[in-house]
Structure 1
Amino acid sequence: MKLPASYSLGELVRYFLRLGTLGFGGPPALVSAMHRDLVVDRQWITEADYREGMALAQLAPGPLAAQLAIYLGYVHYGIWGATLVGIAFVMPSFIMVVALGWVYVRLGGLPWMQAIFYGIGAAVIGIIAIGTYKLTTKTVGTDQLGWVLFGLSAVATAVMESELLWLVLGSGVIYWLVKTPPHFIRTGIGSSFAPFLPPLEGLASDSILWKLALFFAKAGTFVFGSGLAIVPFLYGGVVKEYGWLTEQQFLDAVAVAMITPGPVVITVAFIGYLVAGFPGACVAALATFLPCYLLTVLPAPYFKRWGKHPGVKSFVNGITIAAVGAIAGAVVVLARRQLVDLPAILMALATMGLLYRFKKLPELSIIGGAAVLGLLLRYVA
């Protein structure tokens, strides 16, 4: 029986509003922050509920951090909790990204933003590395099988530069078979996770907004893994297939998502703004996040019903371990692209050292210092 919540819905919404406003670092940092704040510090969410949310976020397509936030809102407050938490988490970064899109269009580019991103990007690598380290030690601990599955997932993600769904699912199956060998086989569990695609095909026309809606609905429905996994899909569509953006505009869109707080996938709003103004930003964001919301809320009751079964718990633990491994691999991928010279490497290492030494040091202060340092290195040094 589920214990009553030790927090109000308002408190949870305010937490996610703050995380969406100040939470830098993309999926690895955000899911680590949710674990630290809600499970360890506040103890609003149990470890079991958090792991169930991580597993469901991995099983279903869409951005990892947003789906986990929606699920955690659902745990004690159902549909209302999931809905309000989802809005609170995404809305701050949406507003920021649209504002930056407005500035971008009127100034014709963002060279100053690229300079800021140089410093912030290096600091972000340090932030997500420390967050991933803490999440890994908590999730895997001394579990030898867990470390094997973690390592496989991390290496595969680092090499392939994307999360492999079959490996995540396989890790869950292996962990289940080894830890709790089944005396019977249940069928049908998980069969309800069929992809949901809004019925946009029949509505598509020559309207650019309908084309945006159809494309981004597909992105939100069929791209698995963290928000970082959506970037190659978006590149293939908006640059190569449709030609909506140039190469540089697309890189700037990704940079905007990385230097603003909240989910990385909010880059879709910036892209939508460049293509069709404010209506384009709204359509792109809604079309991307609606499947994410539905694919979290619809399976949630089944997950809650079966989640306490020993076999299901082992399956969920295996998936969670693989998910954390994929996050660690994503840190390596980001580091390869961001730490391009010695100053960037030193800033990342300094960030890691500061956060490891001073547990309560606000990440926002590090982000601000890194932004200033990036500008100085690019325009003064």
Structure 2
Amino acid sequence: MTHLHGDRPAHPTFGQALLYWLKLGFISFGGPAGQIAVMHAELVERRRWIGERRFLHALNYCMLLPGPEAQQLTVYLGWLMHGTWGGVVAGTLFVLPSYFILAALTWVYLAFGDVALVQGVFAGIKPAVVAVVAFAAWRIGSRALRNGVLWTIAALAFAGLTLFDLPFPLIVLAAALAGAIGGRIAPAHFAGGTSHRADSTAHGPALHDDDTPPPAHARFSVARLLAVLLVALGLWAAAMALLAGQTVLRDMGAFFTKAALLTFGGAYAVLPYVYQGAVETHGWLSGAQMMDGLALGETTPGPLIMVVAFVGFVGAWTQAVLGPDALLAAGLAGAGVATFFTFLPSFVFILAGAPLVESTRGNLKFTAPLTGITAAVVGVILNLALFFGWHAVWPHATAAAPFSGGADPFAALVAAAAFVALWRHGLGIMTVIAVCALLGLARSLLIG
């Protein structure tokens, strides 16, 4: 699709936009950075539906919110072009392919997971996940920890989780408070910013450019804001009412609603909270299964927080919430509940807040608390890497006997090699996981 340099492109029809969002749902690999880069290349540079500054303004707002920023950005851009239904369709299609792919893989995992070859594949994938999470901590930390104050916040967050087992929400709240106070008394240490800087290349005028006024549906109105909030609360209450007779599914609805409101800093940051609730509090799955779920989440399109669909599927399956003869239906229901309650707040944040953001288009004044949270997230992710590494290298250990059962040197070597491949050689995450899976499979064939 090409345009004359000086002409604005034609406004896409709802159907044209729908096809694009569906395509994006199937190709959105590479985590939020990769997903945002794909959208930028397509929507800003090639199709010119959105101008550079308009795109970054929307992205900055999404980065301040809890939840997956790439999915929220699709809701925002879909809403900007086609109103409320445009946002709902864009955000839904961004996660729907991931839901079905992950549900299918989870069914295979649960139905055939005791097969030796499947176990061999996961024996290679688990240490790869350790490397992926450790690499995420290094990658985010190298950008976020710009001074000693932020390093201290990260260290305190790591210690709070590792040594004192503090709840994740408390860590986030303390970091935000430290950022808010620090922004007042030492603003230079908490000067925020985004790594998504505007490109100097001119792509030509866009349909929704910096100089174009917001469309009629994007104008802020108190009545519309109240309507969005009332509809969202109604949907949430109706869904909870439908689950009233299913204790496990109802508990999942309440739990994933709370998790959705705490996902500052991306999926890696909230995974410890999901682990605490799903594994330790509710017992929906084991720590080893949680690692397997993260591995599946890393190799499927969509936001990584879609690992909640795996958690919901496994929890509803193992608890047989629809009876012993309907395990697949139970798994699909659990995955659906986890997905719905995790992503509902993201739609609300955008559909309620985007008109206000469009009407001001000024700088948002929340960078200092966000900087504090981002620093803490580095410590949180490092804690997660340590936890997964412990499970991978000492597979039979328990909290009471943390090094019992002997270490697995194969897991330790694979984890170290995978980290070097990611860090030193810049290989892609999916490539590293695939190679490690093959190593695990080869090992299982050799040792029988």
Establish whether TM, by shorter chain, passes 0.5.
Answer: yes
Higher helix share: 1
C-alpha deviation, 1:99, in angstroms = 0.8
Could you tell me which residue of structure 2 aligns to residue 285 of structure 1? 339
Pair 1:302–1:106, CA change in 2 (3 A): same
Contact 1:52 1:307 in 2 (8 A): no
Could you tell me which residue of structure 2 aligns to residue 205 of structure 1? 244
Q: Which runs of 5+ in 1 are unaligned?
A: 24-29, 180-190, 356-360
Contact 1:70 1:85 in 2 (8 A): yes
Rounded to whole Å, the distance in 2 between the matches of 1:211 and 1:245 is 17
**Which of 361, 365, 371 matches 2:437?**
371
Greater Rg over alpha carbons, structure: 2
Structure 1 residue 16 corresponds to structure 2 residue 17: no
Pair 1:283–1:347, CA change in 2 (3 A): closer
Rounded to whole Å, the distance in 1 between the matches of 2:111 and 2:293 is 15
**Secondary structure of 1:354 counterpart:** coil
**Which of 97, 118, 126 matches 1:92?**
97
Structure 1 residue 215 corresponds to structure 2 residue 216: no
Tell me the amino acid that sits aligned with residue 34 of structure 2. Answer: A
Contact 1:253 1:270 in 2 (8 A): yes
Rounded to whole Å, the distance in 1 between the matches of 2:444 and 2:53 is 44
Could you tell me which residue of structure 1 aligns to residue 422 of structure 2? 351
**Secondary structure of 2:245 counterpart:** coil
Contact 1:273 1:279 in 2 (8 A): yes
**Secondary structure of 1:205 counterpart:** coil
Rounded to whole Å, the distance in 2 between the matches of 1:208 and 1:95 is 24
Could you tell me which residue of structure 2 aligns to residue 67 of structure 1? 72
Contact 2:278 2:284 in 1 (8 A): yes
RMSD: 4.4
Could you tell me which residue of structure 2 aligns to residue 266 of structure 1? 306
Structure 1 residue 112 corresponds to structure 2 residue 120: yes
Pair 1:248–1:119, CA change in 2 (3 A): closer
Structure 1 residue 79 corresponds to structure 2 residue 84: yes
C-alpha deviation, 1:307, in angstroms = 4.0
Per-residue CA deviation, residues 5-48 of structure 1 (Å, 9 max, x unaligned), is 8996468626632443x33xxxxxx2322454455896566467
Rounded to whole Å, the distance in 1 between the matches of 2:283 and 2:358 is 43
Could you tell me which residue of structure 2 aligns to residue 183 of structure 1? none
Contact 1:126 1:349 in 2 (8 A): no
Rounded to whole Å, the distance in 1 between the matches of 2:147 and 2:41 is 22
Could you tell me which residue of structure 2 aligns to residue 187 of structure 1? none
C-alpha deviation, 1:103, in angstroms = 1.3
Contact 2:252 2:312 in 1 (8 A): no
**Which of 173, 176, 179 matches 1:171?**
179
Contact 1:175 1:318 in 2 (8 A): yes
Per-residue CA deviation, residues 227-282 of structure 1 (Å, 9 max, x unaligned), is 23444444454445544445554454444334444323223322332312323322
Contact 1:172 1:318 in 2 (8 A): yes
Pair 1:259–1:165, CA change in 2 (3 A): farther
**Secondary structure of 2:237 counterpart:** coil
Q: Which runs of 5+ in 2 are unaligned?
A: 1-7, 162-167, 189-224, 317-329, 394-411
Tell me the amino acid that sits aligned with residue 100 of structure 1. Answer: L
C-alpha deviation, 1:374, in angstroms = 4.3
Rounded to whole Å, the distance in 2 between the matches of 1:133 and 1:40 is 26
**Secondary structure of 1:206 counterpart:** coil
Pair 1:121–1:297, CA change in 2 (3 A): same
Pair 1:121–1:92, CA change in 2 (3 A): same
C-alpha deviation, 1:345, in angstroms = 1.8
Contact 1:119 1:371 in 2 (8 A): no
Pair 1:152–1:54, CA change in 2 (3 A): farther
Pair 1:113–1:342, CA change in 2 (3 A): closer
Rounded to whole Å, the distance in 2 between the matches of 1:31 and 1:52 is 15
Contact 2:158 2:382 in 1 (8 A): yes
C-alpha deviation, 1:348, in angstroms = 0.9
Rounded to whole Å, the distance in 2 between the matches of 1:125 and 1:238 is 19
Pair 1:363–1:100, CA change in 2 (3 A): closer
Per-residue CA deviation, residues 306-349 of structure 1 (Å, 9 max, x unaligned), is 341xxx44x24435544553554454334434555244223212
So what's the TM-score if we normalise by structure 1? 0.68
Pair 1:239–1:316, CA change in 2 (3 A): closer
Rounded to whole Å, the distance in 2 between the matches of 1:37 and 1:325 is 26
Structure 1 residue 33 corresponds to structure 2 residue 24: no
Rounded to whole Å, the distance in 2 between the matches of 1:173 and 1:53 is 25
Per-residue CA deviation, residues 197-243 of structure 1 (Å, 9 max, x unaligned), is 62256555333575256334533554342323444444454445544
Contact 1:65 1:227 in 2 (8 A): no
Contact 1:120 1:367 in 2 (8 A): yes
So what's the TM-score if we normalise by structure 2? 0.60
**Secondary structure of 1:262 counterpart:** coil
Pair 1:173–1:132, CA change in 2 (3 A): same
C-alpha deviation, 1:131, in angstroms = 5.5
Rounded to whole Å, the distance in 2 between the matches of 1:364 and 1:248 is 20
Rounded to whole Å, the distance in 1 between the matches of 2:11 and 2:433 is 30
Contact 1:72 1:82 in 2 (8 A): yes
**Secondary structure of 1:199 counterpart:** helix
Per-residue CA deviation, residues 128-151 of structure 1 (Å, 9 max, x unaligned), is 4686478x3xxx7xxx9x646654
Aligned length: 343
